[in-house]
Each structure stands twice: as structure tokens, then as C-alpha cells.
A and B are shown apart, each in its own frame.
Chain A
Amino acid sequence: MSAEPTGFLYPFIEADERDSSGLLADLAVSAVAKMQESRSLRAATLERCHDAIAQAGLAMAERFAAGGRLFAFGNGGSATDADGTVHLFRVPPSGRPLPAMSLVDDRAVLTALSNDVGFELVFSRQLIAHAHDGDIAVGFSTSGDSINMLNAFEEADRRGLLTVGLCGYEGAAMAVSDAVHHCLVVKSDSVHRIQEAQAAVMLAVWSSVQRCLAGGREPR
């Protein structure tokens, strides 16, 4: 121990740190800052993407009104966003239930395709089997670079589906792909903040779809 009592300046490097009150206060401050960051990013993204969300919502509503179905996909945390989206459309808090299917729901299909043809084709092969002209493909990716997502969008585009992509950073490959008709980019480099904002964007898209359908476009 030196004569200068400076240990209090560096409490975090002490292996014998015992009082958690300082850490708890720091954690709470950090949480508040990140909550504000998340809220700001969501608000800014909704504002910047306002027109793109409205256009995607209208195009999707037209497909639904004509009998189209939605297919959602993504990897990892984005797979759970795809599942959540399917739930939102099929079991909506208000408005009309709409036909939506998750391409990450069936573990037999996922492992069979991954094992036999490769993970890069795990979504596109399902679209080949299920999807028709008039359907909708919605894919979530934070990087915008996932090869199985890009393959799925290209397959969906070839088959006449409407394609909607959500991604982060600057959009990467998804943002410049002609196969992604409506690309909604969350401009952030934090995977967590991107996913939070993507949820808000998808909720806004869903809300737009419901408004368009309520505006008189009934299924024939």
C-alpha cells in the first residue's frame, strides 16, 4: 500500500471489492442512458422512415387484400423478431388477423435443410415450396449481409413476392439489392439498439397495413 490512498479512484480493479452500492448506481445510470438512446433512435428512425413505412404498409395491404400471405424470417435474435411479427399479424392487438407464417418455426425443416442443402438456403428453399406470386416476404437482419437472407430475398423477388427488409448499420447488401423492394434501415452500429428500433418499425408497418385495410380495401 502506498502512502497516497488512491485506491478509491480505481474501485473496479480491486478483486476484493465488496460494496456493491457504487456499482449498482453506475449500472442504473448506464441503463437510463441506454433507455434514452433507444427511445431517441426509435423516434428518429420512425420519422426518417415515415414515407418508406407508409409505402411498405400500402403495398403489403394490397397483397393481403388480394389474398396474399406473409412469410417472415431472420437469424438468431432476428428469428425471434420474425416470430414476433408473425404473431403480431396473426393475433393482432386490434384490427384484422392476417395470414402470416414463420420460416424459423419448424426445427425439423430448419435442421433438415441446414444439414442437407446448407444454411445459406434455409429460407429460400422454404419459399420455393410455399410462396406464390402475390405473397409477401419480410426479413430481419441487423447486419444486412446474411447470405441466407439475401438468397431468400432473391428467390422471393424471382417468384413475384413483395419483399420487405429490415436491417441496421448503413443497410449493407440488403440496402443495395434490387430484390429488396422496401428496405427499412435503422442507422446504428449497436445490434441491440437496431433490434429495438426494428421492432418499432415493424409495429409501425403493421399499423399502416391495418389502416390501409380499414380504409376500404376488402379481400375479394
Chain B
Amino acid sequence: MMTMMEANTAPVAEAGPAEALAAAALTLARRFAAGGTMWCVAPEWPSHGRHIAVEFIHPVIIGKRALPAMSIDSGGGAAALRLLVRRGDVLVVVSTAGNAAATDLLDRAEAWGLTRVWLGTGPRPAARRAEHVVWLEGSDPALAARSGDMVLLYHLLWELTHVVFEHPGLLEAPPGCAGEVCITCSDEGRVAEVRSLLEGGAVEVTIEGVVETVDATLVAPVAPGDLLLVHAGVALTTIGASP
């Protein structure tokens, strides 16, 4: 393990996180411009979630607009967010790749129709659980969370988001793409969260923030809160159990 001094001065490939931050900032500005709220959760380090929210809602630079951001403590986070979020909002998660509370929220957020920004440290996640993944690779998570590296990531996210606001022509997403969530328009199946059970193996689910009825006979029994993978109106598999 590197000492802190080495960690702070060692040359690192910046291109990855810098480009990911740029893309995330463009999306974030577009979501804010469309009336979205940013929800912030950091299960392992709640202070980071609160820092992100205060950064956006109370800018340190006078004259920058206050943006709707709120941190939610991860205890009961899913239950609270399910009630609070609206399709088109943004979920920002700060965590390690393996944090179960974080990955559960990210999966549910897809069903709720949120755009997801995942700021992380330690080994990079194997599965793509967010539209924007900004990762501090090769760092000891416990140190990266406290060395200023993680704070730097979301400071930059704030700074770049406000630069995007200076480009009003780019604040509307290009036509032909409903936001940045193109991955879910594809053939791969869509993540659905079970709302309630209906008669005859049907269930009412939320998919991309919209309530639909799907056939769940292949994956029965299911319970409210379960996450299903749905293709053409049929639930093909269960991808998470209700917490």
C-alpha cells in the first residue's frame, strides 16, 4: 500500500474519471434543466452524501444557482426514495463496488426511471449499474474516502455542471433519445420493481418510473419490492429480493 504522500503525488491516468465526470455533468445539467432533483446516498460514508447535497443547494460561488439536491441516509433509503423520487430525477451514489445497500438502490433506481451517477473507490464494479460510473481505481477505499480524492470528484461534478449551464443550447437532450438511458431501450430487458400482486400471475410493477402490468408466472412467487427483469411484458427472472 502506498503512503498518503505517495498517493497524493503519484502520476495517475486522469483521463478515465475526467471524461466520465464531463459526461455525468452534461447529463446532470440536463436533468436539472428539465426540473429533476438530485438524490445523494453514501451508505459507507454518509457525510459525503450530505456534502454533495449542500454543495449543489448552497453554492460556494455567489451567483451560481441553487439546485435541488437532497441527501438520504441509506438506512431505509429505498423505502424513502421510492416515495420521493420522480421519473427523470438523478441518484448519486458514493460507495465501494460491493456495498449491498448501494447496488440495491442503483438497481431500483433503474426501475424508478432515475439517471444514476456512481462515484466509487476501490476495485471497479464488474456490472454496469449506472449510466455514469466515475471511479477512483487502484486506491484504498478507506483512504480515498478521507484523503480529499472523493471530495474532489464531486466538487468537480458541481463545477462542470455549472459550466454546462452556460451552454443553453446543450441543455436539451438530443432528439431520438429519451434522456441518457438508452441502455434500457435496447433488447436486454428492463428492470421492474413489484408494486402489488394481481390475479392470475400478473403483477403491477414500476418500469422506468411508469406503472405497468406484467406476467410473472415464470418467476412466481414474487413479493412487493422484488426486482424483476422484464421483456415484452413477461418477467423472465428475479434479480433482487425485497429488503
Contacts and interface: CB of A to CB of B under 8 A. Distances in A.
A17 B168 CA distance: 8
A192 B64 CA distance: 15
B81 interface: no
Q: How large is the interface on B (under 10, 10 to 19, 20 to 34, 35 or more residues)?
A: 35 or more
Most B C-beta atoms less than 10 A away, residue of A31, A35, A42? A31
A76 B8 contact: no
A28 B21 contact: yes
Contacts of B51: 77, 80-81
Contact of A93 (B18, B143, B155): B143
B156 A46 contact: no
Interface string A79-105: 111011001100001100000000000
A56 interface: no
Given A16-B169, A80-B48, A80-B54, A203 B17 contact: no
Given A31-B156, A84-B47, A196-B155, A93 B4 contact: no
Interface string B136-167: 00001011011111011001101110011011
Interface stretch (A1-9, A19-27, A110-118): A19-27
Contacts, number: 138
Contacts of A77: 51, 54-55, 60
Contacts of B50: 79-80, 83
A15 B167 CA distance: 7
B147 A46 contact: no
A18 B169 contact: yes
A197 B151 CA distance: 10
B167 A17 contact: yes
Nearest to B161: A27
B174 interface: yes
B187 interface: no
Interface of chain A, helix or strand or loop or mixed?
helix
A24 B147 contact: no
Contacts of B127: none
Contacts of A93: 140, 142-143
Q: State the main secondary structure of chain B at its contact with A.
A: helix
B170 A35 contact: no
B26 A192 contact: no
B9 A24 contact: no
A39 B8 contact: yes
Given A17-B170, A191-B60, A38 B148 contact: yes
A207 B8 CA distance: 15
B185 interface: no
A51 interface: no
Contact of A39 (B9, B22, B54): B9
Interface in B44-81: 45-48, 50-51, 54-55, 58, 60-61
Contact of A18 (B143, B160, B174): B174
The 5 lowest CB-CB distance pairs between A and B, nearest first, are A93-B142, A17-B169, A27-B22, A196-B148, A31-B18
26 contacts: A12-B166, A12-B167, A15-B169, A18-B169, A23-B167, A24-B19, A28-B22, A29-B18, A30-B160, A31-B14, A34-B156, A38-B152, A79-B54, A88-B146, A93-B142, A191-B60, A192-B60, A192-B152, A199-B146, A200-B147, A200-B148, A203-B4, A203-B147, A203-B148, A204-B4, A206-B146
Interface of B: 4-5, 8-9, 14-15, 17-19, 21-23, 25-26, 45-48, 50-51, 54-55, 58, 60-61, 140, 142-143, 145-149, 151-152, 155-156, 158-160, 163-164, 166-170, 174
Given A27-B25, A39-B8, A76-B58, 15 more contacts: A17-B169, A23-B26, A24-B19, A24-B23, A25-B22, A28-B19, A32-B15, A32-B18, A42-B8, A80-B48, A84-B48, A93-B143, A195-B148, A195-B151, A200-B4
